[in-house]
Amino acid sequence: MSSERSARPQGNLDHAEKVSLGAGVFRRCDGCGDTQLSESFAYGVCPRCGHHERLSAEQWMQLLLDPGSFEPEGEALAPTDPLRFSDGRPYPERVASARRSSGATEAIRVGAATLAGRPIMFGAFVFRFMGGSMGSVVGERLTRLFERAASARRPAVVLSASGGARMQEGIFSLMQMARTVAALGRLREVSMPFVSVLLDPTTGGVAASYALLGDVNLAEPRALIGFAGPRVIEQTIGQKLPEGFQRSEFLLEHGMIDQIAERREMRATIARVLALLLDD
Amino acid sequence: MATLEFERPLVELERRIAELKTAIRASGRGGAEFDVEVARLEEKARRLQEDIFGSLGSWQKVQLSRHPDRPFTLDYVQRLCDDFVELHGDRAYSDDRAIVGGIARFRGRSVVLIGHQKGRGVKDNMARNFGMPHPEGYRKALRLMEMAARFRRPLLTFIDTPGAYPGLGAEERGQAEAIGQCLLSMSRLRVPVIATVIGEGGSGGALALGVANRVVMLEFSTYSVISPEGCASILWKDRARGPEAAEALKVTADHLLRFGVVDELVPEPPGGAHRDPDEAARRVGDAIARHLDALAPLDGPRLAEDRYRKYRAIGEFVGE
Ligand SMILES: [Zn+2]
């Protein structure tokens, strides 16, 4: 890595601080229910209770990436309906309505970018698109992300927020777990780091594939992270789950993640990790 | 022997034939007219079996894949291998009996075996947690995968689980991470890997043993992203609508073969694997041996590349 890059102030958040992450003058917190001035919700974090509101993929890009550096990859990819799946409403209709309501083409955006001046491959889930579920398109985009990171020798940074596999694509969605992890294996072969950022929630087939295999696993405070969803576990064991179960703090305590990173520190944390792993 | 609803007419008829034979023997008479009657009933039973099993719906196959008398991993290992040495434990926490593994000789080759293991009867099922592994099961599997690579032994896996266990301890000890590590390890192995779906292929907990160069599937096995009941409960808030979900999810071997997820469908003996475990094992063994032979010319890096390409190609989308 060039000395020019490592000389940059890695914790610089000036551009991110200017990002306005909410509209309207007042805003009600989903965590504590308090209504406050919108501008006090810096980064979508409640000034009173610290509740982290979910950010969109674009907001995360603004927060983490160098302005204008994101070059999307695979945006034209669209799901088909291999199972001709219908639960009363055909799957293609569900996809079309998810597109309309989320404004995204699928449940993840990936591409090349720079973070604090460093070229990376970047991905961020769109939770609003069918719960961030992983079907063939999400699998393909992630696979390309890891493959290109390996071939261009760039680190990979992925922000996951997903309920898991996309049921409507059946076995094809299950196989995306194998596919994305195999592609991550290629990145490991060239000794390029994968920083996995776990957002609320990361469960099911996304958690049980590449998402907990980061060289460094970071999580937002209080994010729900786990294999099974809390309701499934409660049904299985026939009792209520303890407070804080499967939250980031619980995972940190049980050795599954490296750090809980506050949202305003996320960019600096990722930049530091990459610099320490890659720069001379 | 447990009997499924749709097996009942057949089992009834077979019982009658057996009773008739016993009665004939007891009477000490015998003779041509009895032989003709027995032959007629046996022919009727054969046709009934063909009728029932020739047109099974998805849900009936789901039921067969979960049949309590269906041969499990150790039933196959016992029939297919000499000199099986079971290896226990993850070297960190415990020995999860929902996954078994070890080293053995299979038709002249030394191999490493790993499979989900269901229990027979209440006590055994408790010990094996109904074939639903905890993280330590997957970490035992991981250890054996690495052993296969280290000693250059082909890896044979057997898939038969309702899914990885969704419980408190499983989450505390990293169920998701353990499954992810298995996927990563399997995808990089430089030895031949053959996975056989012998019963239930329940979601990520099944796939954790399933990243293989060739995936073989028994005719009445299933493989699915979610259990039909789980799917029905999410879609319609009604677990009882599992049969509909099974149809919609296309969980049966014929669909999976058509999708290219499975490389070979192994036909089961008449009436299903549980009615003739020896024959089922023979057929599974033949398929595995054939695929091992086909992979024999590939060296380690090519085997890993072959596997990578197989999964790289599984996805259905349009654009670019
Ligand atoms: Zn609040």
Residues in A 96-135 with any Cβ partner in B closer than 8 A: none
Please indicate, yes or no, if residue B33 is contained in any of the structural domains.
yes
Q: Strands A194-203 and A156-162, how do they pair?
A: parallel
Distance (Å, whole) CA A32 – CA B306: 53
Q: Locate B222 and state its tokens.
A: 């299933």
Domain extent for B43: 5-55
Residue A148 has pLDDT above 80, yes or no: yes
Distance (Å, whole) CA A147 – CA A143: 6
Please indicate, yes or no, if residue B317 is contained in any of the structural domains.
no
A173–B207 C-beta distance less than 8 A: no
B307 and B269 within one domain? yes
Query: Token match 């750090």: residue?
Result: A259
H helices of B99-134, where? 121-127
A167, A233, A254: residue with CB nearest B226: A167
Residue A11 has pLDDT above 60, yes or no: no
A54-278 CATH choice from 1.10.3720.10, 3.40.50.9100, 3.40.50.970, 3.90.226.10:
3.90.226.10
Is the predicted ipTM greater than 0.90, yes or no? yes
pLDDT in tens, chain B (320 residues): 789 999 999 999 999 999 999 988 888 877 788 889 899 999 999 999 999 998 899 999 999 999 999 999 999 999 999 999 999 999 999 999 999 999 999 999 999 999 999 999 999 999 999 999 999 999 999 999 999 999 999 999 999 999 999 999 999 999 999 999 999 999 999 999 999 999 999 999 999 999 999 999 999 999 999 999 999 999 999 999 999 999 999 999 999 999 999 999 999 999 999 999 999 999 999 999 999 999 999 999 999 999 999 999 999 999 97
Distance (Å, whole) CA A215 – CA B125: 37
Report the run of H or E that residue B110 belongs to, with start and end. Answer: strand B109-116
Name the CA radius of gyration of chain B, rounded: 21
Please indicate, yes or no, if residue B319 is contained in any of the structural domains.
no
B41 and B71 within one domain? no
B228 and B119 within one domain? yes
B154 and B49 within one domain? no
Q: Which of B40, B55, B70 corresponds to the end of one domain?
A: B55
Work out the number of other CB atoms within 10 angstroms of the CB of residue A6. 14
**How many folded domains does chain B comprise?**
2
pLDDT of residue A26: 86
- Partners of A233 on chain B (C-beta within 8 Å) are 166-168, 171
pLDDT of residue A14: 42
Helix B32-54 crosses helix B8-27 at what angle (to 10 degrees)?
Answer: 170
Query: Token match 């229910």: residue?
Result: A33
Q: Quick one: which of A117, A176, A188 has its CA closest to A149?
A: A188
B254 and B133 within one domain? yes
Long-range CB pairs of A2-8 (<8 Å, 24+ gap) are: A3/A280, A5/A117, A5/A118, A5/A279, A6/A275, A6/A279, A6/A280, A8/A116, A8/A117
What sign has the CA pseudo-torsion B273, B277, B279, B282?
positive
- Partners of B207 on chain A (C-beta within 8 Å) are 174-175, 177-178
How far is B139 from chain A, CA to nearest CA, in Å?
Answer: 14
**Which of B227, B311, B312, B318 should we substitute to test contact with A (largest number of A Cβ atoms within 10 Å)?**
B311
A181, A212, A227: residue with CB nearest B164: A227
Distance (Å, whole) CA A164 – CA A169: 12
Interval between CA A43 and ligand 1 midpoint (Å) = 13
Residue A10 has pLDDT above 90, yes or no: no
Please indicate, yes or no, if residue B270 is contained in any of the structural domains.
yes
How far is B40 from chain A, CA to nearest CA, in Å?
Answer: 43
B305 and B270 within one domain? yes
Can you list the positions of beta strands (E) in chain A?
A: 26-28, 35-37, 71-73, 78-79, 108-115, 118-125, 156-162, 194-203, 216-219, 225-226, 259-260
CA diameter of chain A:
59
B19 and B66 within one domain? no
pLDDT of residue A16: 40
Distance (Å, whole) CA B73 – CA B199: 9
How far is A184 from chain B, CA to nearest CA, in Å?
Answer: 8
A213–B177 C-beta distance less than 8 A: yes
Measured at the CA of A241, the angle between CA A237 and CA A245, to 5 degrees, comes to: 125
B12 and B73 within one domain? no
B250–A232 C-beta distance less than 8 A: no
pTM of the model: 0.94
Q: Strands B81-86 and B99-106, how do they pair?
A: antiparallel
B302 and B208 within one domain? yes
A210–B180 C-beta distance less than 8 A: yes
Long-range CB pairs of A5-9 (<8 Å, 24+ gap) are: A5/A117, A5/A118, A5/A279, A6/A275, A6/A279, A6/A280, A8/A116, A8/A117
What mean pLDDT value characterizes chain A? 91
A208–B248 C-beta distance less than 8 A: no
Q: What pLDDT, in 10s, does the model give residues B19-46?
A: 999 988 888 877 788 889 899 999 999 9
Q: What pLDDT, in 10s, does the model give residues A219-271?
A: 999 999 999 999 999 999 999 999 999 999 999 999 999 999 999 999 999 99
Where residue B121 falls (left for φ over 0; alpha for ψ -120 to 50; beta otherwise) is: left
Average pLDDT over residues A167-195: 98
Please indicate, yes or no, if residue B114 is contained in any of the structural domains.
yes
B265 and B135 within one domain? yes
Contact A141, A107 (CB under 8 A): no
pLDDT of residue B44: 94
Distance (Å, whole) CA A195 – CA B62: 40
- SS3 percent helix, strand, coil of chain A, rounded to 5, is 40, 20, 40
Please indicate, yes or no, if residue B21 is contained in any of the structural domains.
yes
In chain B, the residue whose alpha carbon lies closest to the alpha carbon of A244 is B172
B295 and B254 within one domain? yes
Name the CA radius of gyration of chain A, rounded: 19
CATH of the domain at B89: 3.90.226.10
In chain B, the residue whose alpha carbon lies closest to the alpha carbon of A172 is B315
- SS3 percent helix, strand, coil of chain B, rounded to 5, is 55, 15, 30
Choose the weakest-confidence range: A32-36, A174-178, B171-175, B241-245: A32-36
B36 and B104 within one domain? no
Backbone φ and ψ of A221, nearest 5°: -55, 140
